[in-house]
Amino acid sequence: MRIGIMCHSSIGGSVRIATELAAELARRGHRVHLFTRTTPFGCWEHSNGVVVHRNVLDSDNDLHPAILYADWPAKELQIFLSNVLTVIAQEGLDLLHFHYAIPFAFVAEEVKLLSGLRAPLMVGTLHGTDVSVYGRDPIKSPLLAQTLRKLDGLTTVSSNHSSLAAEVFQLASHPEVIPNFVDLSKFRPHGNMQQDYRENRRITEGRSGGKRKARIIHVSNFRPIKDPLSMANIFIGIRQKMNVELWLVGDGPEMDKVKSVFKQEGIEEDVFFWGLRRDVAAILNQTDLLLITSRSESFCLSALEAMACGIPVLATNVGGIPEVVVHEKTGILFQVGDYSSAVNFAVTLLSDPARHRAMGKAAAGHARRFGCRQMVSAYEGFYQRLLYSLSR
């Protein structure tokens, strides 16, 4: 198949899924074109067989990777549209698949209008704020709903998000669910180091005597919807009850507020800022518990990646998270705003080596259901069904 994929360039689940999907499809022999603003952030391999079409040279990119650049000016949209139309004119595309609706759903609609009989099938995948934010926008929502109804195929990443999208955009049918996925060759328990660490459980003692503290990790883009201030307050509560430190991976608009909270508490020595990293799996494998405090999540890819590494997850019970984190088996869920329960859950789990070890093992096993190969095959099957229905 000749496949075009449109996505953003920033950090975030939609970008990772789009780029890894593109790379795996290319490895399977499909001709794949990736349309994006700049080279996507992350472990992008230029030799992966994907043809990348960029609006802006990487050296000219003036945006922080944590910024979701959704409201493109007309000039940039025109350049992007021109790139897609050029590929269709020169090579043809069987499908054009966008990951994240704003602004790419509108680009797809314009491509279909201008390409006429040469237009590829238009496929979309809705991610988090497509529905939870833009779906509630009084101006964008009606326009987006009209555009989504014209697509040849629509998917999203969890059953919860599918139902929400159908309700918000008043769709005739629910989008097909193809969950997010993880590269199990990269995100996996770290063998002997993990076994030695988990069996000896050096997590309730302080640094005195050469034994380290328990490590809680938070991985996100630090946008308001991730509610990192709640994450900070929960960590403070845990620290009051046991020896523990916090590892923060990522960056974003709320980071300065988070730093301010820790400075006011005088506990900076127990908080480690890793910044934007490409080696997240290696960092996860040195920690004990992933803490997620999102107010809304369509899926929560960071939870899946932690679980694949055998790390239990403590997360808010919102959106698609319960479809990823199985309460009391692969992690623990708590209600938004219930700091005290989150603190108690964390302390209880981190103080119980046998339960923590069993939960980590169950998490790694559950994550194998979301492997890259299975989910990319699901996308292939979805594409093939659409193309077959068109040829009949």
Mean local confidence (pLDDT), 294-300: 95
Does residue 185 surpass a pLDDT of 70? yes
CATH number at residue 331: 3.40.50.2000
Tell me the pLDDT of the chain averaged across its residues: 91
3-state secondary structure of 49: coil
Angle formed at CA 262 by CA 259 and CA 263, multiple of 5 degrees: 85
347 and 377, same domain (yes or no): no
Q: What's the pLDDT at 207? A: 34
% of the chain residues with pLDDT over 70 = 92
Q: Look at residue 186 and tell me if it is in a domain.
A: no
99 and 89, same domain (yes or no): yes
259-292 confidence digits (pLDDT tens): 999 999 999 999 999 999 989 999 999 999 999 9
Check residue 119 and report its DSSP letter: P
Domain of 30 in residue numbering reads as: 2-181+371-391
157 and 195, same domain (yes or no): no
146 and 200, same domain (yes or no): no
Q: Which amino acid is at 5?
A: I
Most confident of 195-199, 206-210, 275-279: 275-279
The mean-pLDDT minimum among 47-61, 96-110, 324-338 falls in 47-61
The kind and range of the H/E element at 122 are strand 121-126
96-119 confidence digits (pLDDT tens): 999 999 999 999 999 999 998 899
346 and 317, same domain (yes or no): yes
- Into how many domains does the chain fold? 2
164 and 235, same domain (yes or no): no
175 and 277, same domain (yes or no): no
Does residue 243 surpass a pLDDT of 70? yes
What token pair was written down for 47? 């030799």
Query: Which CB contacts under 8 angstroms, 24+ apart, belong to 196-202?
Result: 198/310, 198/353, 198/356, 198/357, 198/360, 199/353, 199/357, 201/353, 201/356, 201/357
Q: Look at residue 7 and tell me if it is in a domain.
A: yes
129 and 157, same domain (yes or no): yes
